[in-house]
Amino acid sequence: MKTAKEFWKKKFDEEPQTDNDKLAIVMMQEYADYISLELKNKFVFSDAAKVVTKAIREDKDLYIAYQANIAMPFIDEFNRQKSAIGRNEAIENIHQIANDAAKYFLDLWCKE
């Protein structure tokens, strides 16, 4: 069964009869197409994440490269905050600095 019309025929053992039946079929098909696309997109991202994770696990150099690329925004942000507000206050605000650094990392990662 590939279409909403086929589902209708199997479910009710007849072709759609009224305009309302036909409208219901169109809406069912549109919804099925929408859900299929949503699931496809979900699995595409999930599969990509699995590939990257597997590569990081198996390649020591790639692991170190990711580690460095994650660590550097934290160091950069801490140093930026330290220059702006002082070392002691930067240490006291390390949680906010870490959140800012995480945002900075993601912004760098997502930059086109």
The total of structural domains in the chain comes to 2
Task: State residue 1's pLDDT score.
Answer: 59
Return averaged pLDDT per consecutive 10 residues of the chain, 112 residues in all: 79 85 82 81 78 88 86 87 88 86 82 70
Please give the pLDDT value at position 112: 65
Of the chain, the end-to-end C-alpha distance in Å amounts to 42
Task: Name the domain boundary from 32, 55, 78.
Answer: 55
For residues 22 and 63, state if they share a domain.
no
Non-local (6+) Cβ contacts of 105 within 8 A are: 69, 70, 73, 74
pLDDT for 60 equals: 86
pTM above 0.75, yes or no: no
> In the prediction, which pLDDT does 111 show?
75
DSSP 8-state code for residue 93: T
Say yes or no: 42 and 89 in one domain.
no
Domain coverage including residue 13: 1-55
Check residue 29 and give its pLDDT: 85
Residues 28, 69, single domain; the answer is no
Q: Residue 75, Cα to own-chain centre: how many angstroms?
A: 26
Long-range Cβ pairs for the range 89-98 (8 Å, 24+)? 98/74
